[in-house]
Amino acid sequence: MTDRWKLLRSILIVAAAVALIALPFVAAMLGSTYAITLATRLLIYAMVATGLNLILGYGGLVSFGHAAYFGLGGYTVAILAFHLGEGTSILGFPGTNEALVAWPLAMVVSGLAALVFGALSLRTSGVYFIMITLAFAQMTYYVFVALKYYGGDDGLSLARRNTLGGARIVDAQTFYFVCLALLALVIGVVQRMTVSRFGMVLSGARADERRMMAIGYSPYRYRLTAFVIAGMTAGLGGALWANLARFVSPDMMAWTKSGDFLAMAILGGLTSIAGPVIGAAAFILIESTLSGLTEYWQVIFGPIVVAVALFAPRGLWGMLAGKQER
């Protein structure tokens, strides 16, 4: 990697960080809460895509059911709030509106689902893996459609946003910064993971599974761990989403949502840390611009994704980085 590229990359990263920190203030000056909401969506999508990229980009595993973990995280938050409102208990525990309880729990629920689904899906590979992850997500989707107690098809509204350690995070700006801090944390942890011993094994198994087995690795355990970590990240994203929208529905788990996450990761560029963030930003921008023009915005979005996949196989970040980044 050349020094010039390193410098350019540092400048880009600092510029992006400054822009993300300044954004809500600028938006507030312009009196635009819509911009803050849009930017918060970006942060949450970027978080989910970052987790997905760990298994997709580094692990080489095309999970077509990532929305399931996103949705489960959201529902965990919503169901806990629902029981608090009703004054009832769930599995013997009272409901809660406290983020410090609900969000970690959302990660645990999503992580457990990823553990079970992953343990079974990872027995297969290639197209079968894609289909099985999709099947599990669809199963989860229909379970929540059928759960009339929690709103079924209509979903579940949250009366108010969670409190964070007792403090209110209702204000759009405050919530934005909570999401930004968590995204920074997720990116930091995932970045370190990718170059750790664990990450080397995960990437090595993508590059050549037979070689890795011949030197003594069982890729399955490492892939499953990555799958669970990605699921937990999506769970946290879902918990934040439920708070942003104050509403969850089975649509959070729809296969189109899984496709969106895949598109973000691929659009930005796999096997890079910045890729998913750029992909999420591109997705939000394209979606919000095009959906203003036509209801059928995906008709335009689809070919864009295809074009990126064809002409910039390492995504938008890869285009920026040129040949420099490994």
- Residues in the site for another protein, rule: CB under 8 A? 189, 192-193, 195-201, 203-204, 207-208, 210-218, 222, 225, 326
* Least spacing, CB of residue 72 vs another protein, in Å: 23
* Least spacing, CB of residue 234 vs another protein, in Å: 18
* Least spacing, CB of residue 211 vs another protein, in Å: 4
Nearer CB in complex with another protein: 62/101: 62
* Local structure of residue 251 (DSSP, 8 states): G
Q: How far apart are CA 155 and CA 75, in angstroms?
A: 9
Q: How far apart are CA 158 and CA 156, in angstroms?
A: 7
Amino acid at 218: S
Q: Tell me the H-state helices in the chain.
A: 3-29, 33-53, 66-86, 99-121, 127-146, 172-194, 197-207, 209-214, 219-245, 255-268, 274-293, 298-311, 315-321
For 57-157, list the strands marked E by DSSP: 89-90, 93-94, 156-157
* Least spacing, CB of residue 3 vs another protein, in Å: 15
Q: How far apart are CA 99 and CA 80, in angstroms?
A: 10
Nearer CB in complex with another protein: 63/194: 194
Amino acid at 194: T
Q: How far apart are CA 197 and CA 297, in angstroms?
A: 42
Structure tokens at 300: 């335009």
* Least spacing, CB of residue 278 vs another protein, in Å: 21
Nearer CB in complex with another protein: 140/203: 203
Nearer CB in complex with another protein: 91/207: 207
* Interior angle at CA 224, CA 108 and CA 208, nearest 5: 155
Nearer CB in complex with another protein: 204/259: 204
Nearer CB in complex with another protein: 38/184: 184
* Least spacing, CB of residue 60 vs another protein, in Å: 11
Closest CA to 300 of 311, 289, 309, 310: 289
Nearer CB in complex with another protein: 22/195: 195
Neighbours of 4 (CB within 10 A): 9
* Least spacing, CB of residue 225 vs another protein, in Å: 7
